[in-house]
Amino acid sequence: MSALNITVTPADGLIDRPRRIIVTGAAPGEPVQLSSRTLRAGVAWQSSARFIANATGHVDLSLAPAVDGSYSGISAMGLLWSQKPEQEGRRELFHHDVQQPLVTTLHAHAMNGNAVADAVLVQRLCADGVTRREIREQGLVGTLFLPPASTETGADQDSYPAVMILNGSGGGINEPRAALYASHGYAAFALAYFKAPGLSDYISNTPLEYFEKGLDWLRTTVAPLNDFVALSGQSRGGELVLLLGAIFPEKVSAVLAYVPSALVHSGQSACDPAIGREGPTWLLNGKPLTHQWENNRHASWAPFDEGAPPQRNALAMLTALQDKEAVAKARIPVEKIQAPVLLFSATDDGSWPSSVYAKMVNDKLKEVAHPYAVEWHDYRDAGHAILFPYVPTTQISYAHPVSQRIHTGGGTPAANAQADHHAWQHAQQFLKNAIAAIQGRAIFMRKEVS
């Protein structure tokens, strides 16, 4: 029998690039144990699974089902998304310095003998040539990532389409997503609005003019290709990008809303305790926007507060939806958006009912015959955390970063991994289509003028 060997193709690449992992040199029909170990922000994450070698002594993870272990069935990248942290409660998936790659060691053991093999798989958020710049100016707090000169969007070195990325109720600066967008050719601005240096620790009373300033700053700073600036946000950020698209429609070229709300919400788990979870989140011209909990005759926190652990915030949100008058007053006027809209939701969302909310947005845009592209992808059995592919999806219940209350985002690791993969593919194509549409209109206008 030849020596056991693992090949990873490609061994090194962007984090969203699929890999082919193949073990050779086992005996036909021999059980082979494969394990993975990745250091993430100083904490080791691990997974393992058992496979049966085929008639040629090979185990190809894109073809061979895992028969036991951290995941089951066929999944080429299952050893990555099924990883769990060695330290309970840790959730950081990326190094604090996103320019540092994630290095995974793969180990194979042919179980009928002593043959072993190792290989290394490297995942990067930043492509070669991506630059990172901390932004602390004009009251803005964030990080700007710019792509390498030659990019897949076809932009030249001095002109890129832009994306502004907004986090959810955990706050902070979403550098991983921004770095990956820049690696795909976008000027990506991860803008914090709370729980970051120089900003409030809480989401309560956040002025929407802050984001308008961010949009203006981004345009002035990078001079985007064809003036294209998209908004991408998840959870409270998903609510926020729909809201910004409706309030500042002339400044938003596309909206990507991950597990969003169709309604304005109160501070909830990210609130300032002095204001309370039923206090306002968003201010416009110094005045709070009406939210779904105001004067709501049916809204109750009891299903969340008194529910069986891990608790589901979505159960409380469903009580608020019973008051149709309060819902109508809190509805985000998405019909005012003057751009393509992409919606991602999940049927087992434990944080709030994103499937119901996304349907409300989609239905309204259909009702008004929205003149731009609208896409809605609703992921069965998935939960609140939809990111990008080939990252661990196992940490479903956790302490909220602000309130520290334990709750569940919902979903299963396998369904969440599928949502990660599918959503990222569609996000990339959606942006390309939106950019192409603007380029087409620009060409048409130039011809009209000439």
Per-residue pLDDT tens digits for 293-312: 999 999 999 999 998 888 99
Say whether both 140 and 254 belong to one domain. Answer: yes
Q: What's the distance, Cα to Cα, between the start and end of the chain in Å?
A: 73
For residues 253 and 434, the answer to whether their CB atoms sit within 8 Å is: yes
Q: What CATH number does the domain containing 69 carry?
A: 2.60.40.2240
411 belongs to a structural domain: yes
Phi and psi of 443, rounded to 5°? -65, -45
Whether the CB-CB separation of 173 and 221 falls below 8 Å is answered with no
The reply to whether 299 and 391 lie within a common domain is yes
pLDDT tens-digit map of 113-160: 889 999 999 999 999 999 999 999 999 999 999 998 755 555 555 689
Is residue 268 predicted with pLDDT exceeding 50? yes
Of the pLDDT bands very low, low, confident and very high (cuts 50, 70, 90), residue 278 is very high
What distance in Å separates the CA atoms of residue 319 and residue 297, rounded to the nearest whole number? 9
What whole-number distance in Å separates Cα of residue 133 and Cα of residue 110? 47
Q: Looking at 88, 107, 124, which one is the last position of a domain?
A: 124
Which residues are marked as active site? 235, 349, 384
Share of the chain above pLDDT 70, in %: 95
pLDDT attached to residue 236: 98
140: number of Cβ within 10 Å: 21
Work out the pLDDT band at 381, boundaries 50, 70, 90.
very high
Q: For residues 289 and 311, state if they share a domain.
A: yes
Confidence of residue 169 (pLDDT cuts 50, 70, 90): very high
Beta bridge partner(s), residue 287: 284
pLDDT at 2: 62
The residue whose two tokens read 């997503």 is: 177
Q: pTM for the complete prediction?
A: 0.94
For residues 115 and 161, state if they share a domain.
no
Q: 369 CB contacts (<8 Å, ≥6 apart)?
A: none
List the 287-288 sheet strands across, edge first.
206-207, 282-284, 287-288
Q: Cα separation of 358 and 239, whole Å?
A: 10
Residues 149 and 115 in one domain: no
- In this structure, the number of other CB atoms found within 10 A of the CB of residue 27 comes to 14
| Shared-domain flag, residues 114 and 189 | no
Q: Are residues 227 and 155 in the same domain?
A: yes
Question: Model confidence at 1, in pLDDT bands (50, 70, 90)?
Answer: very low
In the predicted model, is pLDDT for residue 443 greater than 60? Answer: no
The verdict on 137 and 181 lying in the same domain is yes
CATH code assigned at 255 = 3.40.50.1820
Residue 170 lies in a domain: yes
The reply to whether 145 and 107 lie within a common domain is no
**pLDDT score of 447:** 55
112 & 146 share domain: no
Given a contact cutoff of 8 angstroms between Cβ atoms, the answer to whether 181 and 231 are in contact is no
User: Which of 69, 97, 124 is the endpoint of a domain?
Assistant: 124
Beta sheet of 20-24, edge-to-edge order: 5-9, 20-24, 59-60
Query: Do residues 49 and 177 share a domain?
Result: no
Domain count, the chain: 2
Query: What is the distance between the alpha carbons of residues 45 and 36, in angstroms, rounded to a whole number?
Result: 8
Q: Would you say residue 251 lies in a domain? A: yes
98 Rama class: left (phi>0) / alpha (psi -120 to 50) / beta: alpha
Sheet holding 374-379, edge to edge: 131-137, 140-146, 187-192, 162-166, 229-234, 254-258, 341-346, 374-379
- List Cβ neighbours of 120 (8 Å cut-off, separation of 6 or more): 8, 11, 103, 104, 105, 106
450 is a domain residue: no
CA distance 209 to 188: 20
Q: Is residue 335 classed as helix, strand or coil in its secondary structure?
A: helix
- Whether 79 shows a pLDDT value over 70: the answer reads yes
Q: What is the arithmetic mean of pLDDT over 176-187?
A: 98
Note down the domain range covering 253. 131-445
